[in-house]
Amino acid sequence: MKKTLAATALTMSLSAAAPTFSEETKRSAVSMPISMSDIQAVSPAFGKYARETLLGEVWKRPGMSARDRSVVTVAALIARGQIVEMPFYFELALDSGVTPTELSEIITHLAFYSGFPQGMAAVTVAKDVFAARGIGADQLPQESPELLPLNQASEDARAKRVEESVGPVSQGVVEYTTMLFQDVWQRPGLAPRDRSLVTVASLIANGQAGQIGFHLNKAMDNGLTATEASEMLTTLAFYAGWPSVFSAVPIAKDVIEQRPS
């Protein structure tokens, strides 16, 4: 049987960077529709960079755990609707410590930041990954859980800014933005730090510079370190492209420099 890219890449390049698939997982894993031999048949150089540089070096860099790098990568793929690599990276995320609840919440969260169609695209992949692993409803977040406590002062300041800037144009956007921050952001299935991380990663991946500063500050308020922010950018250079990352670098630089040391 032809090896899938997921199995090949994991065997060759990720053994030291993240947990490998168990034999049971290898048998049940959702296969990618492209193999390493397919890549070699089209572009040997691309295959080399994917195997040696991305998987062989980037994923082994210190400063960010394999779990967090998986979160960043999954966020970029969902944000851009890139379903070809989702099965491999969803599997890798789960093997690296991301729980089914967290992956489910990442998809829900990014439906708001990248669009509901992108969320639906991710669901079509995740449902097969979950089925192959025997992940059922008991491992997924509730529809309407008890929400995390709200920082009222911070929320009041956010609501005031949005009302002043958006209210004159669209009260509907104001109302649903309130729902986003008072409901979606407060869901307990994904830690605030991780929710901020996927938000920043998705904004960078889609080249949406306008909100990066606000959300990167929020991420660092929630525990993301400057080193982890740096590694997020390194990872996204490969998964979202150099132009998207270079557009984000000046914003990240300002945020990090202006934060208390």
Per-residue model confidence as pLDDT tens digits over 218-233: 999 999 999 999 999 9
Triad 243, 244, 248: Cα angle to 5°: 110
| Residue 36 confidence (pLDDT) | 80
Of 117, 130, 123, 115, residue with least CA distance to 202: 115
Region of poorest pLDDT, from 37-41, 66-70, 72-76, 170-174 = 37-41
Using alpha carbons, list the distances in angstroms from residue 204 to 59, 99, 228, 239, 249: 19, 24, 15, 10, 10
Segment 140-155, tens digit of pLDDT = 999 999 999 999 999 9
> Helix, strand or coil for residue 203?
helix
203 half-sphere exposure, CB direction, 13 A CA radius: 21
Region of poorest pLDDT, from 24-38, 81-95, 116-130 = 24-38
Domains in the chain, start-ordered, CATH in brackets?
Answer: 5-147+183-258 (1.20.1290.10), 148-182 (no CATH)
**Residue 152 Cα to chain centre, angstroms:** 27
| Residue 34 confidence (pLDDT) | 77
Segment 100-119, tens digit of pLDDT = 999 999 999 999 999 999 99
For the chain, what percent of residues have pLDDT higher than 90?
A: 84
Instruction: Give me the mean pLDDT over the 167-196 stretch.
Output: 98
Q: Are 62 and 226 in contact (CB under 8 A)?
A: no
| Average model confidence (pLDDT) across the chain | 89
The model's confidence at residue 79, banded by pLDDT at 50, 70 and 90, is very high
The model's confidence at residue 32, banded by pLDDT at 50, 70 and 90, is low
The 10 Å Cβ neighbour count of residue 132 is 17
| Residue 260 confidence (pLDDT) | 86
Using alpha carbons, list the distances in angstroms from residue 229 to 39, 107, 192, 258: 31, 21, 15, 14
| Alpha helices, H only, 14-65 | 23-28, 36-42, 44-48
The model's confidence at residue 33, banded by pLDDT at 50, 70 and 90, is low
> Helix, strand or coil for residue 172?
helix
- Report the distance separating Cα 116 and Cα 107, nearest Å: 9
Instruction: Say if residue 145 is exposed, middle or buried (CB neighbours under 10 Å; 0-12, 13-18, 19+).
Output: exposed
| Two structure tokens written together for 167 | 């209210």
Instruction: Say if residue 92 is exposed, middle or buried (CB neighbours under 10 Å; 0-12, 13-18, 19+).
Output: buried
With residue 143 as reference, give the H or E element that holds it: none
| Residue 258 confidence (pLDDT) | 94
As a whole number of Å, the CA-based R_g of the chain is 19
pLDDT of 191 above 90:
yes
pLDDT of 3 above 70:
no
